[in-house]
Amino acid sequence: MVVLITGISSGFGRAMAQRLSAEGHTVYGTHRNAGERIPGVTYLKADITDEEQVNATVDTVLQKEGRIDVFINNAGMGYGGPLEFASIEDARAQMDVNWLGMVRFLHRIVPIMRSQREGKIICVSSIGGLMGLPFQGLYSASKFAIEGYLEALRLETRDFGIKVIAIQPGDFATGFTSSRRSIAAEEVHAAYPKYAASLSSIEHDETTGLKPEYLANKISRIIKSKNPANHYVIASPLQKLAVLAKRILPSKLFEIILAWYYKLI
């Protein structure tokens, strides 16, 4: 299969590219700074916030292969801190990368798959797209946007053989923690005294989380599946339980549990 993955320099993207290439798929991946390259993977330099670069990336794959069987939207970033202190520029940048980056690619890729009458669209969301996470509100908002977009897209494309799949990871040990743009001014900590303890808990869960290869293995199985599910929560048992609790518990009770977990009470 011809697979296009966004953001393969590190973390999930690198693990997926490595696994899928080793299995014999033809893998293309976007990057801004490639780092050490994976043998057999074609690297395409592209900024997902630049529509011309996105279009050129899709055109390159289509010209070389004539089709795109699987598109994996993986590239993303995160802002951390109290929403009160997040600037409009921060919010705009968060959505531009995590949500509009996906939209730019799908505007080009959906017509290709529709003409093929088949294809898989796999987008990396987050359990933060199922529940609003404290001090990660912009990130959660961008992932909620992905979830809503995919629900609509799934309905619109159901007659064209296109499978639209949302991946909802929990905490994984990737480079995401160190690259998060967290607000750290003294006035922020003064206004929100529990912020430091909550952020420390968040970072501990991430750095001790699952390895990205675990997710890559799951993606491999999804690609091979003829009838994949619409959603996959890929997380620790405790985080999977949290997702279930969000669905079945009264909202105020779940809010108390989440506040306790993130050291807000």
Q: For the segment 102-140, what is each residue's pLDDT rounded down to a tens digit?
A: 999 999 999 999 999 999 999 999 999 999 999 999 999
pTM: 0.93
220 is catalytic: no
Catalytic residue among 21, 28, 143, 232: 143
Catalytic-labelled residue, pool 125, 126, 140, 198:
125
Q: What are the pLDDT digits (tens) for 80-97?
A: 899 999 999 999 999 999
Q: Is 139 a catalytic residue?
A: yes
Active-site residue identified among 21, 120, 126, 139: 139
- Phi-psi domain of 209 (left: phi exceeds 0; alpha: psi -120 through 50; beta: other): beta
Residue appearing with tokens 């506040």: 259
Domain count, the chain: 1
Separation between Cα atoms, residue 125 and residue 233, nearest integer Å:
10
- Residues 209-218: what's their mean pLDDT? 93
Rg (CA), the chain: 19
43 catalytic per annotation: no
Domain carrying residue 69: 2-261
Active-site residue flag, 64: no
Sign, CA dihedral 14-17-22-23, equals positive
Question: Which element (helix H / strand E) includes 123?
Answer: strand 119-124
Assign residue 47 the CATH number of its domain: 3.40.50.720
Q: How confident is the model at residue 184 (pLDDT cuts 50, 70, 90)?
A: confident
Longest dimension (CA), the chain: 57
CA dihedral 10, 201, 262, 172 (to 10 degrees): 30
